[in-house]
Chain A
Amino acid sequence: MVTLNKLPTAARLFASAATLIACATLTACAGRAGLPPPRAPLAATPRDAIPRPPRPPADAPIAIDARVHRLDNGLTVVVSPRPAEGLATVVLVDQAAAGRDLRSTRAVTELTAFAMLDATRTDAGVVPDYARHEGYDLRLGLRARALVATATFAADRLDPFLAVLDATVRQPVFRDERIARLLERRVETVAGELATAEGILDDRLPGLLYGEADPRHAPLRRSFTELQRITPRDLRIRHAELLDPAACTLVVVGEVDEARVVARAAEVFGAWAPHPSPPQLAPAQPAEAPVRGVGVVRPLLRPWIGVLERAPPSGHADHPAFLVLSEILGGMFSSRLNLLVRESETLSYGLGATYEASPDGGELRVVTAVDPTQVARFVGTLLGELARVSGAGGGLEARELTIARTRARQLLRARLDSTAGVAGAIVESVLAGLPLDHVERVLARLDRLTKADIEAAAARWIRPDRAPIGVVASREVFESQLTRVPLGPFQVIVPPPRVRR
């Protein structure tokens, strides 16, 4: 670890201005001939030829229509029939398989999920990649509180799919040689991610916000180490802990008959024996980091900068305000930060502010790559705008609030416009222990939010003077740019020049 002001000044390998010039002159304009001149008038269509549209009608109402059933063994079935061009989406949510379960590492649970898809014991013997073999694109994803299996397919294939789903999760065959290969690929993937600027930010930033024991800390480097220790036995043990029908919810959305779905679910999943094995959820822990920011030296043409800040969890009263706030900051092109750094000051190709919320917490993240000569200016602009949205120096403007509210509303409405979207919204509610119509309630709340509500929510969560910052950049940028920004305690890491296994 070295501090900013101790970086050797001789290392000017990637002088940012020189890099830009080099880029611009890498290739000459070979064989350039003149183009014909334009014609007058430049626009042949008269200005008033195209009429302005009339005032638009109101949006049609949109809602989740779902009903909950419970099987005798405790498994919950949620069915939401809707027109869907003959499609259905099915999601199995297994809350016995939490990613933050202290009984195992996240890497083991993740690899167990991968391996469950690898081969299945069936009446016809062991079938590799069984779901795919049967024509279903079944995807498994590990969340903090559940393992989630999802597939969308033609609704008339629902009956066989449920049998495939049952066999896949209940009867996986863990083949040692395949697990070794899965491990190898996973290690390679992690190494690849760690070799990129965004991967480095993903790896380092959470450590500034959460303590070592907090499940959200989860640096990629740690999973790299964990993966190298995993044995096939670990996966078999982990799998045995994962199937408790009382902790499972089956969500079915699409062109289906509700009674038939429930009957078929009982037929397939009713035989699952109760097997209580509640996960031991790792507790949240505040950051212990002695620094405000972390920098990683890499010879990049474009420095990458990320800010990560705590934000409200999905069920919190401030959640709707943050949906709007993230749109105002960096939702799309007309967001405040994009108008500033892309359109007005042209410091960057563009940037995104994302707000992700789960029952365990939320995060607001701003990440972008910027002109290497403008890093200090960008950081100043970014922190200034974070301060402004949280009430200091002007707060929110009426027009940006209107646009952001509209976008936040329509993004939520759009989730309810497809089978996969409706299923996803139901799963979020199940995981957070919220009512199934939670999205509709958030929509109603969005309509009532005032400027003061949003500024108050921002003030409660955003700390422009302390928000953790990560930078991946050339040594030159650290020397010439970041020394000019008062960031407080900042750790700069110079990693080995090449990533090797």
Chain B
Amino acid sequence: MTTALRTRAVPALSFAAVVVRALVIRALAFAALGLAAPAAAQSSGSALAAPAADGPIQYRLENGLEVILRPLEGRHFTALGVSYHVGSSDQPEGYRGLAHLTEHLMFSGTDELGPGEPHTVLEAMGALTHNATTHADQTVYFETVPNARLEDALWLEAHRMARMLAGLDRARLERQRRVVLHEGVQNGHYGWRGRAREVTDALVYGDDHPYARTAERAADVNAISLDNVRWFFQTYYAPDNATLVLVGGFDPTRARAAIERYFGPIRRSGPRRERPRARPRPLPGQATVRMEVQTTRDFVSFVWPTPAWGAEGDAALDILGSLLVTGDDAPLQVGLVDSGLALGIEAHQASRELASEFRITALAVPGRRPEELAGAIDQALAGITGFSEASIEDARAQWARREENAQEGILSRATLLGIRGADGYLGTVENERARYAGVDSRSVVDALRRYLPLDRRVVFYGLANPSVDAGGRVLETRWSR
């Protein structure tokens, strides 16, 4: 569910952003990962642990709920996030959309709250932004509330964690199914973009990997039963599979007591299930896809599976994405846009828990073939021997500034703290800034050579055909090994 507020149109050059929509959302939340040790203080006892060096307070309730608190002086609002560590990658095959539909049903009420009433309760307390998003690895419920109403928000989150299933009936399921289908059509999940993502994911990760089944299907959504939702919820929506985060102007002592009061009594309703968390296998060669799509311009996308969020190379690939396309002498900008081949070009690393993706997408100038663009991208990448310290510094500063801009955004900070990083990493503002400090020209070039091999990747040619079927038409899929 994304906000019902008005959104801006997708500009022409956003194929990558649309195709890997979930990834990009993640990339925004997963701003970065530092290699530094977590700054959080660990506590499992009753005493309130002091934050270490401005880090957050971190502890677990007896029922397994992980809690992260980051009080900020002088703020009148508090952002609250509940991250359930389950997402679209946990959907069994044939149930694509189950995670998303379950997310919607969390707003459909409980045995005490009527349909849609969670929205009303939140808005009546003055919640500013309140919503939820389903990603590949987790589902996040979030809201920003006036400090004085924090207890109300904690009650609501605890109550629906404990009692959503007690109120769920067929009428609520059907209503939210229709809303999810509306969302899917409106956001292009069931059109050529969704199909392109399915095809690409299967090649990048292999059919049996959880990341190969994150794309939603309308037919699957239509087939989900009440019992399917109940099983999914009982398995994954439990305190020992969730992280509660508060960031803002709350009083930490009072908040801790309230969290114990509302979340402490919650018990798991179904057996715990281990999530398959295997890293994807390396690509055996180059896969090429040609697909006719309902656009007006041809494009080419390269996709590489890359190190997971926080793994070695992740930060360097973030910086590489900036260096390839930003600035007067950016290799892809010079080689494709300045040369008149492409109308625009994007390159970015989208980070996730098990594996990330590095994508380069170029939109062809009318009359130029996408194969020409692919050749020019290869030529530009092969020609890179290093980057000037000035441009590295520039890119580092750009990423550091992003953190600075995000610092005032208590909601994005809360969301980031709720995401699991490798080796217990915590996405604090301080850690995020530190993440880029160690990146230099050599590590960027090393990451380029190691993780973006020209002979092991997925190449997707989008061939513009405004009159093709809405779902597009795959003309060819082949491997070169």
Chains A and B belong together in one complex: yes
A contacts, CB < 8 Å to B: 19-20, 22-33, 35-39, 41-47, 49-54, 56-60, 62, 82-85, 87, 128-129, 132-133, 135-137, 152-154, 181, 185, 188-189, 191-193, 195-199, 299, 301-302, 330-334, 338-339, 342-343, 346, 348-352, 354, 365, 367, 369, 371, 402-403, 406-407, 409-411, 413-414, 416-420, 497-501
> How many Å from the CB of A449 to the closest CB on chain B?
16
* Residues of chain B within 8 A of A185, CB atoms compared: 344
Please indicate the chain A residues that have their CB under 8 angstroms from the CB of B338 in the complex. 181
A342 touches B179 (CB 8 A): yes
Contact code string B56-85 (vs A, CB < 8 Å = 1, else 0): 000000000000000011111100000000
Closest residue of chain B to A409 (Cβ to Cβ) is B126
Say which residue of B107, B222, B231, B258 sits within 8 Å of A35 (CB atoms).
Answer: B231
Complex Cα–Cα for A57 and B148 (A):
6
Please, how many angstroms separate the alpha-carbon atoms of A318 and B366 in the complex? 50
The smallest C-beta distance from B226 to any residue of chain A, in angstroms, reads: 9
A/B interface sample: 12 pairs, CB < 8 A: A23-B190, A24-B222, A29-B220, A32-B95, A42-B166, A43-B166, A82-B74, A85-B407, A152-B404, A195-B12, A333-B107, A414-B128
A192 touches B227 (CB 8 A): no
Q: A42-B166, A83-B74, A413-B77 given. 20 additional CB < 8 A pairs?
A: A22-B469, A23-B184, A24-B222, A35-B95, A38-B165, A42-B165, A47-B111, A50-B159, A50-B265, A52-B155, A56-B152, A57-B148, A85-B407, A128-B327, A132-B394, A199-B9, A332-B123, A333-B123, A350-B4, A417-B77
B175:A343 contact, CB within 8 angstroms = yes
A60 touches B6 (CB 8 A): no
Q: Given A83-B73, A332-B123, A413-B76, A27–B152 Cβ distance below 8 Å? A: no
* Interchain CB contact under 8 A, B124 and A403: yes
Contacting residues, chain A, for B261 (C-beta < 8 A) = 51
* B9, B230, B394: the one within 8 Å of A38 (CB): B230
Neighbouring B residues of A20 by C-beta, 8 Å: 185
**Residues B139-190 near A (CB distance < 8 A):** 144, 146-149, 151-152, 154-155, 158-159, 162-166, 168, 175, 178-179, 181-187, 190
Instruction: Kindly identify which residue among A30, A191, A339, A351 contacts B116, using a CB–CB cutoff of 8 Å.
Output: A339
State how many angstroms separate the Cβ of A85 from the closest Cβ of chain B. 6
- Which residue in A47, A50, A57, A406 is a CB contact (below 8 Å) of B158? A50
Residue in B11, B228, B267, B343 with the greatest tally of chain A CB atoms within 10 Å? B11
Is B477 interfacial (CB 8 A cutoff)? no
Quick one: given A53-B154, A85-B72, A333-B123, are A43 and B163 in contact (CB under 8 Å)? Answer: yes
Q: What CA separation (Å) do A87 and B152 show in the bound complex?
A: 31
Residues of A within 8 A of B402 (CB): 137
Question: Do A35 and B470 contact each other (CB < 8 Å), given the known contacts A47-B166, A152-B405?
Answer: no
Inter-chain contacts of A82 with B (CB < 8 A): 74
Q: Which residues of B contact A (CB under 8 A)?
A: 3-13, 72-77, 92-95, 107, 111-112, 115-116, 119-120, 123-128, 130, 144, 146-149, 151-152, 154-155, 158-159, 162-166, 168, 175, 178-179, 181-187, 190-191, 195, 198, 217-220, 222-223, 227-228, 230-232, 234, 249, 258, 261-262, 265-271, 296, 327-328, 338, 343-344, 366, 394, 397-398, 400-402, 404-405, 407-408, 466, 469-471
Query: What's the Cα separation between A334 and B124 when bound, in Å?
Result: 9
Give complex CA distance A322, B474 in Å: 50
A22-B470 contact given A38-B231, A128-B328, A193-B11, CB 8 Å threshold? yes
Given the complex, which residues of A lie within 8 Å of B155, measured CB to CB? Answer: 50, 52-53
A354-B5 in contact (CB<8A): yes
**Which residue of B is nearest A157, CB measured?**
B404
Q: Which residues of A contact B407 (CB under 8 A)?
A: 85, 87
Q: A342: which B residues are within 8 A, CB to CB?
A: 4, 179, 182
Residues of chain A within 8 A of B12, CB atoms compared:
188, 191-192, 195
**Complex partner residue of A62 from B76, B95, B186, CB under 8 angstroms:** B76
Distance between A296 CB and nearest chain B CB, rounded to angstroms: 14
B152 pairs with A406, CB closer than 8 A: no
Contact at B234–A42, with CB atoms within 8 Å?
Answer: yes
- Tell me whether B128 and A411 are in contact (CB under 8 A): yes
- Inter-chain CA distance A348–B187, complex, in Å, is 12
Pick the contact of A414: B11, B77, B93 (CB < 8 A).
B77
**A-B pairs with lowest CB-CB distance, top 7:** A32-B94, A350-B4, A192-B12, A196-B9, A38-B230, A410-B126, A333-B119
B94 and A31 within 8 A (CB)? yes
Residue numbers in A under 8 Å from B182 (CB-CB):
342, 346, 348-349, 371
Query: Contact at A302–B268, with CB atoms within 8 Å?
Result: no
Give the docked Cα–Cα distance between A24 and B470 (Å): 12
Q: Is the CB of A403 within 8 A of B195?
A: no
Kindly list chain A residues whose C-beta atoms are within 8 Å of the C-beta of B328. Answer: 128
On whether the beta carbons of B408 and A152 are closer than 8 Å, the reply is yes
Is A349 in contact with B186, judged by CB distance below 8 angstroms?
yes
